[in-house]
Chains A and B, each alone.
Chain A
């Protein structure tokens, strides 16, 4: 019976689900949009990590990017909220059941323009939350205006030349004390997936700045948010592979060539150094790296910074094990006799 099922439904993972069980509605984004390939990797990562879709909650703000949660994890709860205000919505919602996983998708406009304040504050609070920024340097949904991440001097048809300095989302995240900061490129599905898996295992905020070209409004070769530029300028920090906690961690790389990062849930991220002897646990190292990359016009990808020691928001709040949204009346309303005690406290 089970075999038959597997045959007709395709290969199942450890929770008995096929990859199809992780899909969402068909996308309505432009063909070739970088956001679509990120959706596919969210599906793949969740499937490969054997997460139950019912135990993942999705969030987004407003934009083309923010539409995408409708196109993955159709069996997960989700909320497509307000422009720039995804972090607050997610923060409150995750108190409903703090055992669930949370993934949010935002855009560069949604995060670095209108949402800069909430972006910074969700980082401060270290909510366990995979925060994906699908960064295309423009406002896709409102037809191609410059966003705050557009590089200075970039000229786009119909919008002139951007005169202002760009916001570097990864740098903002590191400076803002994020406990997990990574950058990737939508055209590198393997790296995107591995980073997503690592982020999902991180017990705190995980910022993923993923360059995700807008093929309709910002795909000129000079733009760092285009496919051509991305491919030519990408410098991968590490070759990354993610090892789930239920498997034995076997590493056979030569000493000195790699750093293991053990996640809170016991899983391990193995980073294989390519060009640099890079230590992602050093904040000053991360800042220096980003400075250097900006100077040299590199697109640094990989895990830029990680800190597994900081308590998460839920470590701080000391909540009951029973999710707050499953508490019963007698756990929420103080007992009748307490009212006399309260009245006695009044004058």
Chain B
């Protein structure tokens, strides 16, 4: 193929190459076809060019065959939320070809593998066919790898068309293949061949290009699950039990990878940790709670269906007061729902997880860096409060690569909470009681197995107990104990991370959100402000709600609560807590399995504002 058939009667409204570092690319492939390496290579190369960039894998629950997409946003201004609108679409999969074609914005670019013989019925876009088979045939790849490297063709062609730096592509491949020369050369060879072909055969007709910037030099790229695992390691995790479930699996996989490197005793080479793959989530949480009870920094990670299996143990840990950290990487429910799609739909369940009167402490990381920070802080909190700490991340933060600040070493020494060892008991002449509120903060003292003092032992139980942990059904004892637990929840209010508040001068309304929606909210605020609506923004980072949340709600006539679920779960929890002023809160909730976009938030808020 020499001449390129460009179906194009485009009135060149935009100058060639005039849109720099500000567009979205989506690649449509078949699941399991090995496109991940290509996509992440593009993402990393752009990142290394100093351009703010984000990448999101929009994949089905399937190992091989179903359509899957990867969307990259390049934004010189640093707006990195997913966009609905796609300037550049790469179609590698006949099954999604028609949809992919329809998704290109007018004036946008459509690249496709030229063995797909589906008519192209649009004349408002630039079309570039890619001779994928021909280029792969030329590559020096074993036949088993041909399909795999086929995806490198679009990397090379995009690099040529957009001006992506080949050195950076090489760096990305070098990192991906951990310096192994053979696969690096094979893949880079295809990239180069494709780029050469494009240079000779494609005439650039579109306005999009990239240009090196200096906006990522201080940054790293990581996913939230890796960050959570590393944070947990720096938090001194001793014990993790888990059961595989997307999107939580990669958290413990990362833990296994890094803990072996960071947590061997330097002298003996022995392990200061243990990780067990349990038979199910009932056992995973049971093991973690057993370990927490016996004085270990213990954790588990799961997603919605796993959490529901953990409920009975969650109630036991709340009532018997056992420290443990539970990561919930949220995906779309109910039931198996959309297991590979992102959501913020577990917040109500987790808040009440248990039975009888339970109220749980929840941390809400909003970035890769917060996954790291909450990774270690959650252990301090769990041990200080002697309770489970639930950390709610989601698939988008957890499994996608994000630009992040380098991880920072914990700025606080470990806080192991109120644990009495032999010497402490000696000093107390053995006088202590497991569930006695000595300090008035609702937090009692505890001992852990192995303590050799004859007065150290106590009997943990999920049944009614007095201050000495002895069985009782006494009405007064029961109520006093439950009141203490409430007091402890109030103590937690002063210990959990405070919200991040970002105000505009003379703002008209407030926005409350949490977790992975932050980039979309920030972009929406930018656009709303341009349109004349100024907003203050509170990004919630924990439950129970701190004073700052109360003040924010009272200070605003109206606040929108933005979240990725159907029912407006955070809005419901805020309405319970702030019942007397809940009319100030308006729910803006939406869940379709895809990461939140700024335009959806803007539109919904403008609709609401128009009602006024």
Give CA–CA (A131, B270) in the complex, Å.
Answer: 28
B470 and A25 form a contact (CB under 8 A): yes
Is A93 an interface residue, CB under 8 A from the partner?
yes
Interface CB pairs A-B, < 8 A, 10: A25-B470, A89-B287, A90-B290, A97-B294, A117-B282, A117-B283, A118-B279, A319-B271, A346-B221, A347-B401
- The residue of chain A having its C-beta at the shortest distance from the C-beta of B175 within the complex is A347
List residues of chain A with CB within 8 A of the CB of B297.
Answer: 332
| Other A-B pairs, 19, CB within 8 Å; known A87-B286, A346-B222 | A77-B448, A77-B459, A78-B457, A80-B462, A81-B462, A82-B462, A85-B312, A88-B287, A90-B290, A92-B292, A92-B294, A92-B298, A95-B296, A96-B293, A323-B450, A325-B238, A325-B448, A333-B234, A333-B235
Does chain A have a CB within 8 A of B289? yes
Complex: how many Å from CA A70 to CA B291?
Answer: 21
* Binary CB contact string for chain A from 243 to 271 against chain B (1 if under 8 A, 0 otherwise): 00000000000000000000000000000
A56 to chain B, nearest CB (A): 9
Q: Determine if B454 and A75 form an interchain contact, defined as CB atoms under 8 angstroms apart.
A: yes
Within 8 A of B (CB), among A125-165: 125
Q: Which residues of A contact B470 (CB under 8 A)?
A: 25
Q: Are A77 and B449 in contact (CB under 8 A)?
A: yes
Q: Which residues on A sit within 8 Å (CB–CB) of B286?
A: 81-82, 85, 87-89, 91-92, 118
Cross-chain contact of B268 among A118, A321, A347 (Cβ < 8 A): A321
B238 pairs with A327, CB closer than 8 A: yes
Q: Which of B48, B263, B288, B463 contacts A80 (CB 8 A)?
A: B463
**CB atoms of A118 and B283 under 8 A apart:** yes
Determine which of A94, A319, A320 lies in contact with B294 in the assembled complex, contact meaning CB atoms within 8 Å.
A94
Contacts of A100 in B (CB 8 A): 449-450
- Whether B186 sits at the interface, judged by CB under 8 Å, is no
B406 interface residue, CB < 8 Å from A?
yes
Are A79 and B454 in contact, with the CB atoms below 8 A? Answer: no
Interface set, chain B 377-433, CB cutoff 8 A to A: 401, 404, 406-410, 413-414
Q: Which of A210-218, A279-287, A336-344 contacts B (4 or more CB under 8 A)?
A: A336-344
Closest chain-B Cβ to A23's Cβ sits at a distance in Å of 13
Most chain B Cβ neighbours within 10 Å, of A80, A81, A320, A332 = A332
Partner of A79, one of B172, B241, B461: B461
Taking the closest CB of chain B, its distance from the CB of A320, in whole angstroms, is 4
Q: Which of A52, A76, A95 has the most CB of B within 10 A?
A: A95
- CB distance A329 to B290 under 8 Å? no
Question: A310-326 CB contact bits vs B (8 Å, 1 = yes)?
Answer: 00000001111101111
Q: Does residue A69 face the partner (Cβ distance < 8 Å to B)?
A: yes
Contact B313 A82 (CB under 8 A): yes
Given known A332-B236, A342-B407, contact A325–B296 (CB-CB < 8 A):
yes
Q: Mask for A46-84, Cβ within 8 A of B = 1, else 0?
A: 000000111101100000000001100011111111100
Interface residues of B in 263-278 (CB under 8 A from A): 263, 265, 268, 270-274, 276, 278
Whole-angstrom distance from the CB of A127 to the nearest CB of chain B? 10
Q: How far is the CA of A327 from the CA of B239 in the complex (A)?
A: 13
Q: Which residue of B lies closest to A59 (CB)?
A: B290
Residues on B with beta carbons closer than 8 Å to the beta carbon of A90: 290
Q: CA separation between A47 and B284, bound complex, in Å?
A: 34
Of B312, B404, B408, B447, the contact of A82 (CB 8 Å cutoff): B312
- Say yes or no: B462 contacts A336, CB within 8 Å: no
Q: With A339-B409, A347-B221 given, is the CB distance from A92 to B287 under 8 Å?
A: yes
Contacts of A332 in B (CB 8 A): 236, 238, 263, 272, 297, 414
> Which chain A positions have C-beta within 8 A of B278?
88, 121
Determine whether the beta carbon of A331 is less than 8 Å from that of B450: no
- Residue in A79, A318, A329 whose Cβ sees the most chain B Cβ within 10 Å: A79
A-chain residues with CB within 8 Å of residue B276 when the two chains form the complex: 91, 125
Least CB distance, B47 to chain A, in whole angstroms: 7
Which residues in window 453-504 of B have CB below 8 A to A? 453-454, 456-463, 470-471
**A74 surroundings in chain B (CB, below 8 A):** 457
Question: Is the Cβ of B268 less than 8 Å from the Cβ of A320?
Answer: yes
The answer, yes or no, to whether B544 is at the interface (CB within 8 Å) is: no
From the candidates B220, B230, B234, B449, name the one contacting A97 in the complex (CB within 8 A). Answer: B449
The CA-CA distance from A76 to B222 in the complex, in Å, is 46
Query: CB distance B274 to A317 under 8 Å?
Result: yes
Q: Is B341 among interface residues, defined by CB-CB distance under 8 A?
A: no
Closest B-chain residue to A325, C-beta based?
A: B295
Check A324 against B312 for contact (C-beta < 8 Å): no
Is residue B44 contacting chain A, with contact meaning CB distance below 8 A? yes
Over the window 184-195 of chain A, the binary record of Cβ atoms lying under 8 Å from chain B Cβ atoms (1 yes, 0 no) is 000000000000
Contacts of A69 in B (CB 8 A): 459
Give the nearest-CB partner of B419 in chain A: A325
For the complex formed, measure the closest distance between the CB of A271 and the CB atoms of chain B, giving whole angstroms: 33
* B103 CB within 8 Å of chain A: no
With contacts A79-B290, A97-B294, A333-B414 taken as known, whether A338 is within 8 angstroms of B241 at the C-beta atoms is no
Complex partner residue of B220 from A75, A77, A85, A346, CB under 8 angstroms: A346
Q: Which of A57, A94, A346 is the most central at the interface, judged by chain B CB atoms within 10 Å of its CB?
A: A346
Q: Give the docked Cα–Cα distance between A57 and B293 (Å).
A: 12
Whether the Cβ atoms of B271 and A318 lie closer than 8 Å is yes
The answer to whether B454 touches A331 (Cβ under 8 A) is: no
**Shortest beta-carbon distance, B462 to chain A, in Å?**
7
User: In whole Å, how far is A106's beta carbon from the nearest beta carbon of chain B?
Assistant: 14
User: Which chain A residues in 17-36 approach chain B with CB under 8 Å?
Assistant: 25
Interface membership of B451, Cβ < 8 A: yes
Contact residues in A for B463 (Cβ distance below 8 Å): 80
- Which residues of B, 157-201, contact A by the 8 Å Cβ criterion? 172, 175
B280 CB within 8 Å of chain A: yes
Whether B274 contacts A324 by the Cβ 8 Å rule is yes
Cβ contact within 8 Å between B265 and A320: yes
Residues of A within 8 A of B234 (CB): 333-334, 339
Do the beta carbons of A338 and B262 come within 8 Å of each other? yes
Minimum distance in angstroms from A191 CB to a CB of chain B: 28
Q: How far is the CB of A325 from chain B (nearest CB, A)?
A: 3
Cα A95 to Cα B241 in complex, Å, equals: 12
Judged by a CB distance under 8 angstroms, whether B580 is at the interface is: no
Contact A329 B236 (CB under 8 A): yes
Report the separation of the CA atoms of residues A57 and B258 in the bound assembly, to the nearest whole angstrom. 32
In the complex, what residues of B have CB within 8 A of residue A70's CB?
459, 471
Report the minimal beta-carbon distance from B156 to chain A, rounded to whole angstroms: 20
**Cβ–Cβ contact A329 & B413, under 8 A:** yes
In the complex, B553 has a CB within 8 A of chain A: no
Q: How far is the CB of B234 from chain A (nearest CB, A)?
A: 6
Asked if B139 lies at the interface with its beta carbon under 8 angstroms from chain A, I say no
Closest to B379 in A: A332
CB distance B407 to A54 under 8 Å? no
Q: Which residues of B contact A96 (CB under 8 A)?
A: 291, 293-296, 448-450
The verdict on B91 contacting chain A, using a C-beta distance below 8 Å, is no
